[in-house]
Amino acid sequence: MRFALRNLIRGKPKSAQSPEQSIEKTTRIEIADNPIEYMMTEIYLRELAFQRAIQILAKMLGKCEIRTFLNGEEIFRDEYYTWNYEPNRNQNKQQFFDKLVEKMFRNNETLVVSGIDGQLYVADSFSTTKSTLYGNSYDQVMVDDYTFRRTFGSTDVLYLKPNWKNANTVLQGLYGSYAKLIQYEAKSFLQSHGSKGILDISAMAQNQKNFDETLKRMLNEYFKTFFESENAVLPLFEGYTFTETNRSKNYNETTTRDVKALYDDVFDFTARAIGIPPSILKGDVQDNSKAMDELLTLALDPLAGSLESEINRKKYGRSVLTGSRCMVDTSHVKHVDIFSNATQIDKLVQSGTHTINMILRAMGQPQVDEAWADQHFITKNYATIQSVLDSLEGGENNGQNKGNEE
């Protein structure tokens, strides 16, 4: 409990007053209730928006399937298992990508190194030696509390950077400015909605014995209980008069919506800097489908493409030209309701573009171990113009031949 005190002495100073005049002297104390000490700091605001943004990206990347191919044929071997199930002994797939995305956007770079038995680790810290001609090298690579003794070459690691040069610096400045604005709005809200009053103390009360102790007790105990309680009675001694003032009517009142609007602004520019639709970051559900498509196109696809390109050029090199590569498949990220999309799914099968197993895989369902499930089907309604002409010509010829026979 904090009290704002202001002594207003009516009349002349005590030394210049007569005894009769001193009786009329009154001390007026303005008391303001400020029950909440506002402790909002810049780091709280920054972390709230930032953590939410990277969680969205990390969870989406974790839902992607990293597919591996050898000479054009998809294979399911050690590398597939490492990327999709257990990157290392201490992390599963989602935990690995959580750390990768956070390091990438917090530090503006991230380094993935390979340890024993091909296990993958996201470095907590590392030192870079740049070389234009021979490629960069990395040493003092630390993962948790372990530091690798070796030096990693550029082809031994995966090095990723977000595509937002200087955006992090801009965000820090905006965070600081908005933290001050939010603090100001919150204080304005408390001031305009708090309880205030004037305590008048007569000269007789001031001349009483133990006046200082009585006043201190009244302010720290009685008024504290009075302001903090929902229903309370304020006991006053003789010579004390308390008048409650309603100052909120004289202020341009700040509402909780004003404070929330500033929070929304912070989420907006954080989302735009990272490439996430603001409505997704704030949890809005209206027109969510359109926002989700924008999220996949502008945020996830570039991130997945960057990871895929880095794996292919470091792991496979020129073998990608002969079909040996990896692919970060983002088709599993968006939830698909098979019943509401039954018509579209049927068209994919009828057109011959997708097999039954391809559809099942895209929906995250177990595939069918039958030969027919990997075959392409097409309805009789689909045909080329030439085949239609050929069939018509064949029909006319058959009719002529039948007439000649008769």
Q: Reduced to 3 states, what is the DSSP secondary structure of residue 199? A: strand
The region of weakest confidence among 23-27, 54-58, 103-107, 146-150 is: 23-27
Alpha-helical runs (H) found in 11-92: 19-23, 42-63, 78-84
**Res. 82 pLDDT band, cuts 50 70 90:** very high
Can you read off the two tokens belonging to residue 377? 């089907």
Task: Dump pLDDT digits (tens) for 375-393.
Answer: 888 876 666 667 767 777 7
The more confidently predicted of residues 230 and 386 is: 386
**Percentage of the chain modeled with pLDDT above 90:** 33
Say yes or no to pLDDT of 303 above 50.
yes
Under a CB-based contact definition with an 8 Å cutoff, are residues 28 and 200 in contact?
yes
Alpha-helical runs (H) found in 218-277: 223-228, 256-274
Q: Region 94-111: what's the mean pLDDT?
A: 93
**Spatial separation of the C-alpha atoms in residues 81 and 199, rounded to whole Å:** 75
Predicted structure pTM score: 0.66
**Res. 21 pLDDT band, cuts 50 70 90:** very low
**Spatial separation of the C-alpha atoms in residues 354 and 275, rounded to whole Å:** 32
Count helices and strands (H / E) in the chain: 15, 14
Q: Reduced to 3 states, what is the DSSP secondary structure of residue 285? A: coil
Domains of the chain: which residue ranges?
A: 7-37+170-247, 339-406
Task: Dump pLDDT digits (tens) for 159-212.
Answer: 999 876 655 555 665 555 555 655 655 566 555 556 667 777 777 777 777 777
Say yes or no to pLDDT of 334 above 80.
yes
The pLDDT value recorded for residue 8 is: 34
Under a CB-based contact definition with an 8 Å cutoff, are residues 136 and 130 in contact?
yes
CB atoms within 10 A of CB 24: 11
The more confidently predicted of residues 23 and 243 is: 243
The pLDDT value recorded for residue 379 is: 78
Helix (H) or strand (E) holding 195: none
Q: Is 317 exposed, middle or buried (0-12, 13-18, 19+ CB in 10 A)?
A: exposed
Q: Is 100 exposed, middle or buried (0-12, 13-18, 19+ CB in 10 A)?
A: buried
**Spatial separation of the C-alpha atoms in residues 111 and 314, rounded to whole Å:** 13
The pLDDT value recorded for residue 348 is: 85
**Res. 12 pLDDT band, cuts 50 70 90:** very low
**Res. 43 pLDDT band, cuts 50 70 90:** low
The pLDDT value recorded for residue 195 is: 62
**Res. 310 pLDDT band, cuts 50 70 90:** very high
| Amino acid present at 268 | D
